[in-house]
Chains A and B, each alone.
Chain A
Amino acid sequence: MSEFKQIGRSFSRTDGLDKVHGKQEYVNDYQPTGLLHAALKISTHAHAKIKSIDTAEAEAASGVQAVITGDDFPVTLGLYMGDHPPLALHKVRHYGEPVAAVIANTEHQAKNAVELIKVKYEDLEVISSPTDGLKANAPLLHENMDEYTHIDAVHPEPGSNVANHTKIRKGEAAQAIADAEIVIEDTFSFPPCDHVAMETRAVISEIKANGNVVIHSTTQAPFTVKELLSFNFDIPVGKIKIIAPPIGGGFGGKAGIQLEGLGYLLTKAADGRPVKLVNDREEDMLSSPGHIGMEAKVRLGATADGKLIAAELDYHFDAGAYADYAVNVSNAAAISCTGPYDIPNVRCDSLCVYTNHPFATAFRGFGHVELAFPIERSMDLLAEKAGIDPVEIRMKNAIKEGDTSPTQSLMDANTGDLRECIKRAAKMINWDQGSFIKKDENKVIAKGFGLLWKSPAMPPNTGAGAIITFNKDGSLNLHTGIMEIGQGSKTGLAQIVAERFGTSPENIHLVQEVNTETAPHDWSTAASRSLMMAGRAALEAADDAIDQICRTAAIPLRCPPEDLIVEGGRVFLEDEPSIGLPLDDVVHGYVYENGNAIEGQVIGRGNYIARRLSGIDPETGKGRPSLEYTLGAQAVEIELDLNDYSYQIKKAVSCMDVGKVINPNLARGQVVGAISMGIGLARSEGFVFNSREQVVNGVLRDYKVLRYGEEPEYEIDFVETPQGDGPFGLRGLGEQGIIGIPGAIANALSRATGVKLNYIPLLPEDIWQSVKEASHNDSI
């Protein structure tokens, strides 16, 4: 029997009824009066000088209010590094980059006028990969890198295309590799791709008569947006209001600053009138940021019996044209560079390299899904070379309490039980029944394993807040800065507060929309931190409110406040429950019969700030940047057709240690959804570029995502080793399910074909090619 009433229960989502009746409103559903519409002219070149932009005809077109280009507002914005003009300035750096914008009375007028803008380009040499960008004679994408403002934690290398370089130096990696009995070395890669949130990004911006800037945005990070707008445009931060209704999928893609800077310029050009800008799908994939690409070189050293002793890791990220979140993705990948393995000697150089690709931002898994692909493939290669079973070698090296992370911080008592996760995942996938089974002449069944770990990559002073107010009937309103992005955190928060109040989550009213003017400050709904951090804040707010309730009630009840408890909508003496008051008599102040009133309304406040975190040393990476680590193990079973190398992912399993499951159905939904995105990355998702670095699959007809009926059977399990500082012992779980999957699929397909497949996406024609090349090489 559980000690909890609301925690660990699959309470249904607080936003459910609206969502299944089409009543949930998203930014693009709003049509304020007086609304103008904007449309973008985007670049057809990946790298070119802008010779001229002729806007005369567009300006004269019917319904047009204004046409703006980069020259009108020569500013550069950025999340961590100010390298990004909202409209291209003098040159374009990626295919799809916005070069001009039209504001008109209607959207079709704006779009028609865009067609009338004439841009003359002069092609420049393109950078098509990190390798390309790191060549000594590579063209410089950002000649003025040294002039860009950036935060201290980012280390750009002006005069090169390196936007950030993170170093990890733990022990003596080179020496340990030289001493190792078994060494494997290989390279791995994947191209940039896209989040494909079903809702494309949108913004409605307006400047009020008093200069206040009001922006409705599809954002995961309304407060970050507000602060960056203030910083970049020199607007007092209090004069900016971001309104963020629930969003139609984020996956990291809406975590930075996106269209809001441009949105501000649009309304500015239109005399402050409200202007709506909505990405079409192609713009959302190409003009707005996507998932980072990577080229990795891994060298692992181990003892003869497969115990890891060293890793040398070179992670070269394809940031695309602008730094955005990519500089922190590469940083996060360095911080967690080894994956969840205990390795005493580590060198990692993680470079974030500019290329002429659409730029990258946060993506579910943030650095960890990227590093996990080369690492998990390498673990299988090591297992093969050592002649040890892939599950056994993971078991042997899995990180545990008392080990140290690549940043040399101690894995403390809150470290999850990774070995238990591995055991359960192996059982779910029936590993002991064989990982390679020849079904018949044409079909092979193979299994692959992948471990995961993830910590939130966030500033060390990240905090969250919660406010609880009351309605006359004693029900609660919970205000936080957490965004509803589909993950259901608000439902989880309601359960946490309901547990404390001994009431049902139905009595907790949630403010679904975040308004930065009224919500408590919150860093960002990202990094799978919401339930942990805002959960802590909500618990504190609940306790604060309960204190106030007891204090007020103690006066008419004539008892010490500490003898009172709150439960079931009442405050009463714990040892004599019949003596008490309904909450509605207390929460707005107690009123005596003669009208005298005391104490006033209850307002609960709570906050939480990450504890004892630090940045990392720029030379060694030493530090304590990680709030917590969620650990887990995943595996897949695939069936490959040897005739054409088409395959199906039959089963995907996952077990992770999340500390405490607050809502089992929602937790499962997060993991399953994340796995399906991991399958997408491994199976089909990647931008295809032509020789001029134009994206040739920038629409959903050509860019293949997982469809209904292609999903595997999912089997999900959780281990609950409590996180001491997490509310009810929980830790993050929203992103994690993606992390081990690409490696697991590549491992399974490598096993099935007998050929090293060190890249994703694994399209059947590419597998065929790899098999052909391998057999060709063998025959030489």
Chain B
Amino acid sequence: MKAYENISLVKLKVNGETRDVAIRPADTLLRVLREKLGLTAAKPGCENGDCGACTVLINEKPVKSCMKLAVEVDAGAEIITLEGIKNSIIQETFLEEDGFQCGYCTPGFLVNAYALLKEHPDADDKLAKEWLESNICRCTGYEGIRNALKLAQEKLK
């Protein structure tokens, strides 16, 4: 199979800024963010949709950026990476509750949990599981992450 190689110029709206970027049609959003725009918070953990380390928000919905081609992102869609989220409650509670150790899964988890809190601030355990089971953390045994989410929910009340 021959990949389509032509470079195209696209506009991506990332963390509130519109950026012009030259990409190959086969470039994933994850690679474009990391390698073309220098936004390295989103991480490759599998590049196969299995681990969630690459999660970013597109129009407030968490999306695995390794599974999304950059050219597929709708013009004008708002992409938010962890770099675009500052001092949020969930970041605060991740610190307080040790929601991370090595930190590699953390950008994906935080972005996902941030979106969850926005859309369902009262999410119960079942709903939280539905959202967050798409991300893998190998360090924490999930205790710190679960506690951070709960504390954030309390603080948001």
Contact = CB atoms under 8 A, between A and B. Distances in A.
Interface of A: 12-13, 15-26, 28-29, 31, 108, 112, 195-200, 246-251, 278, 280-281, 485-488, 665-666, 668-669, 672-677, 699-701, 705-711, 714
B78 to A, nearest CB: 17
B119 interface: no
Contact of A198 (B42, B83, B86, B104): B104
Contacts of A488: 101
A669 B99 CA distance: 9
Indicate the member of B35, B95, B135 with the most A CB atoms within 10 Å. B95
A708 B145 contact: yes
Interface of B: 3, 24, 26, 34-35, 39-51, 53, 81-83, 86, 91, 94-96, 98-107, 110, 125, 128-129, 132-133, 135-146
A487 to B, nearest CB: 7
Contacts of A18: 103
Nearest to B102: A486
Given A15-B103, A196-B138, A676-B142, 20 more contacts: A20-B106, A108-B24, A195-B138, A199-B104, A246-B103, A248-B102, A278-B44, A486-B100, A669-B139, A672-B140, A673-B139, A700-B48, A700-B51, A700-B136, A701-B49, A701-B50, A708-B137, A708-B142, A708-B145, A714-B143
Main DSSP-derived SS at the B contact region: loop
Given A21-B86, A280-B47, A249 B135 contact: no
Given A249-B138, A673-B139, A706-B142, A699 B101 contact: no
Contacts, number: 168
Contact of B107 (A17, A22, A281): A22
B144 A669 contact: yes
Given A21-B83, A22-B107, A714-B143, A28 B132 contact: no
A606 B50 CA distance: 45
B98 A26 contact: no
B132 A708 contact: yes
Main DSSP-derived SS at the A contact region: loop
Nearest to B109: A708
Contacts of B110: 20
B106 A19 contact: yes
Given A22-B82, A714-B143, A199 B40 contact: no
Contacts of A250: 102
Given A22-B82, A198-B105, A199-B102, A700 B46 contact: yes
Contacts of B49: 701
B44 A22 contact: no
Contact of B43 (A16, A248, A673): A248
Contacts of A711: 141-143, 146
A20 B95 contact: yes
Contacts of B128: 708-709
Nearest to B53: A198
Contacts of A108: 3, 24, 26
A131 B40 CA distance: 46
A486 B101 contact: yes
A196 B51 CA distance: 11
A26 B133 contact: no
Contacts of A709: 125, 128-129, 132-133, 142
Indicate the member of B82, B137, B146 with the most A CB atoms within 10 Å. B137
Contacts of A485: 102
A700 B110 CA distance: 21
A196 B104 CA distance: 12
A31 B125 CA distance: 40
Indicate the member of A19, A246, A247, A669 with the most B CB atoms within 10 Å. A19
Contact of A246 (B47, B99, B102): B102
B79 to A, nearest CB: 14
Nearest to B126: A709
Contacts of A673: 101, 138-141
A232 B75 CA distance: 53
